[in-house]
Structure 1
Amino acid sequence: MKADRSSSRRSLFWDFRPKRRKEERTNDPLAGLRFQEALPSDREVSDAEIDRQVARLQTKLRQRRDQTARSHSLRPWLPRVAAVLAGIMVVGSALFWLLHAQTVRVETAFGETKVFWLPDSSRVTLNAHSSLTYTADWEEGTTREVHLEGEAFFSVRKQQTATGRVKFVVHTEDVHVEVLGTEFNVRQRRDQTQVMLEEGSVRLRVKEHPHEILMQPGDLVEVLPRTHEVQQRIVNPERYSSWKQHQWILNNTSLQEIAGRIEELYGLPVRLPDSATAHLQLTGTFPTGELTKLLDVLSASTGLQVEQQKDQILLH
């Protein structure tokens, strides 16, 4: 029995020596092994040596399996890594554009108005103590957007593409005014916003208001401060755009409201002597091009004495 076992060992001996001729690579872990029918020499192989060789082979097989498992475990992550890299490139491009896009800000001082044209040739009349911000270059066919603080009158040029008309949007603190091509006035003062439509159509989106508001020519929409209550009514558009001709058209307007307008326009607070005087109502056309003329007309209309000081105006 011992002779038969030795013969069996010799005929199944594994030779780990590398082959000299080139062979095609394969994933079979036994591809690098050769089998010989007999040992190179006639010496007898012990059981301990066979155990060492078997253990060595098992170690190599485990190493090969571990390497293969690691390579496969990385493959599911490759699409995710690619997506992350693509996202980084997109965000980087957007940041580059934002940082390099030129922003234009037009401002007016107290008692000053300005008329200018936007990149799409829309015309803007900016009232005193106001500002309008927009990007210098508007790509043809994209939404045109401006940000307003104060008061401005817009004559928006219609713009048409193959997919339809291009929107024009005015942003204030409380209201987004969306138009296609029209004339309208936007006033945002002391946390109160007014939008008056003179021509065309307007769609409003008001902060904390669940529905859009559609306006027709002659409509006035007011958003009240603090409560953000929305009021809509029909008015005479000329009353709300007459400031472009440096005049106010008043109709039963309280002296308190007029005092607030003077402060907005010229930066000087108006002090009234009492509440009864504050509730006086005036009707007529008042010039606003020069503060001195405005105060003279106001004095003549009310019978009050007007005193203009360095930092305030007193009525008594």
Structure 2
Amino acid sequence: MKSDIHSVYNLLSNVSFLDWIKNPTEETDRFWEGWQEEDPKRKQQVKQAKALASSIDFKKTSPEDIRKELIFKRIQNSINEEKEEPAPNSFRAHNTQVKSDSSRIWMKWAAVFIGLIVMSGIYYFAFNNNTITHTTAFGETRNVTLPDGSEVKLNGNSSLIHSKAWESGEVRDVWLEGEAYFTVKHLGAQQKFVVHATSDFNVEVIGTEFNVLNREGKTKVVLSSGKVILNLQNETKEERLQMAPGEMVEYIHDDQVLTKKEVDPMVYTSWRNNRLIFDDTSLLEIKSILESTYGLTVKIEDKSLLEKRVYGSAPSNDISLLLKGLERSLGNQILIEGKIVTIK
């Protein structure tokens, strides 16, 4: 393969990436072009993912149609492109190994297209007139009331997709890219509420309060109250994990690993009250927040600072005050030049 299959798959599972392909803007062009410049391998991954995603008209093609013969023909074409040149006669004895290699290639591409089928369902759903999409810009938060009366607060650089209405007894499905805090209304009919973070990982609840952060190949779920069940289901494993209040579960997409630990939910949910709390938080984690939520480029001159732990709090709705608070907590000088932040 020319690039890591999981990286291409992650791009195909990324709502923002697919939005960029379908509806590019100057802002999203800058973001994705900048992302590619950070690592030369990413350009090839983006090229492959764009070719796969652009080959299907998500607006007009239903999931059932995508399952038909054409998609498997594309898989076969991809396999043919990956096959090695025919072996010389003296190496015919290794034919079994060639078949084995082809099988592995088939399984890798089949996994990608299975994921693409799932994502096509999401995007067929997203482009349907019966759905609503909510988005936030960098540094913006937004309160959303869902059709069932549940409340969602979206953090910066996030998007949420859901139906305009849910029938009685229907599963309340929503799709999240970014970060959101959910206060789910409990319905008498025990009607499930499901947050889809990736094509193989979702959060299932009845009525509860929890935070979901879904960015950069990781999904974190923090439970404030009630009960949730996490579902991991893909071609290699199926796992259900129940959470209790005060627990955080992190899912690493590429590794397909779930880890659970006890936390203080306020540290991870204080942003909804326009506050960020740092409690033994590494500068590396803070850098990720500043870049993914606020759209900043953070440069750290001394790389050893990345592991420095930070304690304290700062307002999250004023970036200048946030950076001043961080400067005091770190004890290091912070310079701001437009969208570029340098920590000395």
The alignment's TM-score, normalised by the length of structure 2, stands at 0.60
Closer/same/farther in 2, CA of residues 141 and 107 from structure 1, 3 Å limit: same
RMSD: 1.7
Is residue 203 of structure 1 aligned with residue 229 of structure 2? yes
- List per-residue Cα deviations over 1:91-139 (Å, max 9, x = no partner): xxxxxx9786421000000110011200000000111100000111211
Structure 1 unaligned blocks of 5 or more? 1-96
Aligned letter for 1:169?
V
- List per-residue Cα deviations over 1:126-168 (Å, max 9, x = no partner): 111000001112112211110000011111111123xxx1100
Aligned letter for 1:197?
L
Q: Hey, what does 2:120 align to over in structure 1?
A: none
Please tell me whether the aligned partners of residues 173 and 193 of structure 2 are also in contact (alpha carbons under 8 angstroms). Answer: yes
Alpha-carbon distance between aligned partners in 2 of 1:185 and 1:111, rounded to the nearest angstrom: 17
**Segment drifting more, 108-117 vs 271-280:** 271-280
Aligned residues: percent identity? 37
- For residue 142 of structure 1, give the secondary structure of its aligned residue in structure 2: coil
Greater relative CO (CA pairs within 8 A, separation 6+): 2
- List per-residue Cα deviations over 1:46-105 (Å, max 9, x = no partner): xxxxxxxxxxxxxxxxxxxxxxxxxxxxxxxxxxxxxxxxxxxxxxxxxxx978642100
Alpha-carbon distance between aligned partners in 1 of 2:306 and 2:283, rounded to the nearest angstrom: 5
Please tell me whether the aligned partners of residues 195 and 220 of structure 1 are also in contact (alpha carbons under 8 angstroms). Answer: yes
Q: Which of 212, 218, 221 matches 1:186?
A: 212
Q: Hey, what does 2:321 align to over in structure 1?
A: 293
Q: Hey, what does 2:21 align to over in structure 1?
A: none
- List per-residue Cα deviations over 1:22-58 (Å, max 9, x = no partner): xxxxxxxxxxxxxxxxxxxxxxxxxxxxxxxxxxxxx
Alpha-carbon distance between aligned partners in 2 of 1:211 and 1:112, rounded to the nearest angstrom: 35
Alpha-carbon distance between aligned partners in 2 of 1:126 and 1:167, rounded to the nearest angstrom: 21
Higher helix share: 2
Alpha-carbon distance between aligned partners in 1 of 2:330 and 2:312, rounded to the nearest angstrom: 12
Is residue 274 of structure 1 aligned with residue 299 of structure 2? no
> How far did residue 310 of structure 1 move?
2.4
Q: Hey, what does 1:172 align to over in structure 2?
A: 197
Please tell me whether the aligned partners of residues 177 and 202 of structure 1 are also in contact (alpha carbons under 8 angstroms). Answer: yes
Q: Which of 153, 156, 162 matches 2:184?
A: 156
Please tell me whether the aligned partners of residues 193 and 204 of structure 2 are also in contact (alpha carbons under 8 angstroms). Answer: yes
Please tell me whether the aligned partners of residues 223 and 245 of structure 2 are also in contact (alpha carbons under 8 angstroms). Answer: yes
Structure 2 unaligned blocks of 5 or more? 1-123
> How far did residue 303 of structure 1 move?
2.6
Please tell me whether the aligned partners of residues 184 and 195 of structure 1 are also in contact (alpha carbons under 8 angstroms). Answer: yes
Alpha-carbon distance between aligned partners in 2 of 1:140 and 1:230, rounded to the nearest angstrom: 33
- List per-residue Cα deviations over 1:211-241 (Å, max 9, x = no partner): 2111111111101242121101111111111
Q: Hey, what does 1:126 align to over in structure 2?
A: 154
Q: Hey, what does 1:313 align to over in structure 2?
A: 341
The alignment's TM-score, normalised by the length of structure 1, stands at 0.65
> How far did residue 210 of structure 1 move?
2.2
- Number of residue pairs aligned between Structure 1 and Structure 2: 217
